[in-house]
Structure 1
């Protein structure tokens, strides 16, 4: 008896992985979009930079002038306050409870001259100024912000009021000597000025400048006798 055994051969073919192919295609497409966006933004940035450079070269910005033009002493008063004494309970010699002080009252009108030599306008921020005597702050003044047209001049006023500031010991003696003997009181006025260039309704980044003035006042005449000013730091 012959037995025929039949062998069935089955063949398995690998099925294509559509998911992997689709994922690779999406990743490549995403990278391509990122590259395109990067190139686009780079081109726009270079274009904006080129436009800004062209505008700067066209207007040729110059350093604006902001200087202290005039100082007027509206009032000045110096009052000497003698020391006070306290009587002890035991009947001994009274002792001084406070040293001699000097009260200074002063009103100064500052007149600044702002000159804009540029072809575009300049926007000034609020400016603050301090008056000092021998390193002692006496008072402050502020100038509101303002906009200045191209090729224009403008005068800006500020008032510094010193209301009965007390000076002690050596500083008081120096002030009395300067005022009564020398008729020469030297003060220092300093502060910061912020400015921006305005081009087509766009403001440039703010830059700071410093105003530093040494002025000499005659208490008898209540007038300015000398002025030395510096203006540094503002560049456009």
Structure 2
């Protein structure tokens, strides 16, 4: 009589083993992806954290300054052209691409002239030089009652205000919109047409 023996326990079959290996591979891929994302986020908020561009008025020259004081009736005739040498430094580790912007010249809180800044891009850790010619709007300037006394004292308190709106792209993945404003107070000495006592304030919105 033939007697069948009970099947001996053997190793797991092939498909089950392959399924277990695929699961391990998927877990490893997900873990690697999570680590990469975490690393990118850390870099985005540390090394590549968006910083404000720094605008500096290197010099301001009164190329055309024609002033005449009328005694009767009392009045002041003014013709002023101001040459501004401005530098914009991009401290970011990536390029800063900005839209059309404007630099406004203010006198005692009132705008008296402006000059456009065409859209451009500043490379990482680069500084862009800009030579701007700004014609002062005499009618706005002279509408301030303190203009006469400031000219007689020989010192004009002016302010330049620059607003730059653009974006930086971090690692080709994240686009961070940046709005940077720079306000610089400066004194222009009428006698020798030089600039001194410059103080700048910066503000950035991300």
TM-score, L = length of structure 2: 0.68
Cα distance 1:80–1:137, how it changes in 2: closer, same or farther (>3 A)? farther
C-alpha deviation, 1:161, in angstroms:
0.7
| 1:105–1:165 Cα contact (<8 Å) kept | no
TM-score, L = length of structure 1: 0.60
Aligned to 1:164: 138
What is the aligned counterpart of 1:118 among 92, 110, 126? 92
How many residue pairs get aligned? The number is 172
SS of match in other structure, 2:44: helix
Cα distance 1:81–1:111, how it changes in 2: closer, same or farther (>3 A)? same
- Deviations, residues 103-142 of structure 1 (Å, cap 9, x unaligned): 3322112222222333321112222122122233211111
CA distance in 1, matches of 2:71, 2:173: 59
CA distance in 2, matches of 1:226, 1:111: 16
CA distance in 1, matches of 2:43, 2:129: 29
What is the aligned counterpart of 1:70 among 59, 73, 96? 59
Aligned to 1:53: 41
Q: Which has the larger radius of gyration?
A: 1
* Superposition pairs of residues 3-82 of structure 1, within 5 angstroms: 53=41, 56=44, 59-63=47-51, 64-81=53-70
Cα distance 1:66–1:218, how it changes in 2: closer, same or farther (>3 A)? closer
C-alpha deviation, 1:157, in angstroms:
2.4
CA distance in 1, matches of 2:191, 2:181: 31
| 1:116–1:122 Cα contact (<8 Å) kept | yes
RMSD across aligned positions (CA): 3.1
Aligned to 1:136: 110
SS of match in other structure, 1:111: strand
What is the aligned counterpart of 2:177 among 194, 202, 206? 206
Higher deviation after alignment, 220-229 or 55-64: 55-64
Aligned to 2:147: 175
- Deviations, residues 124-173 of structure 1 (Å, cap 9, x unaligned): 222212212223321111111211122322212222111532624xx34x
- Runs (5+) with no aligned partner, structure 2: 1-32
Greater than 4 Å deviation, 4+ residue runs: 46-52, 81-84, 199-203
- Deviations, residues 86-112 of structure 1 (Å, cap 9, x unaligned): xxxxxxxxxxxxxx4433322112222
CA distance in 1, matches of 2:41, 2:174: 15
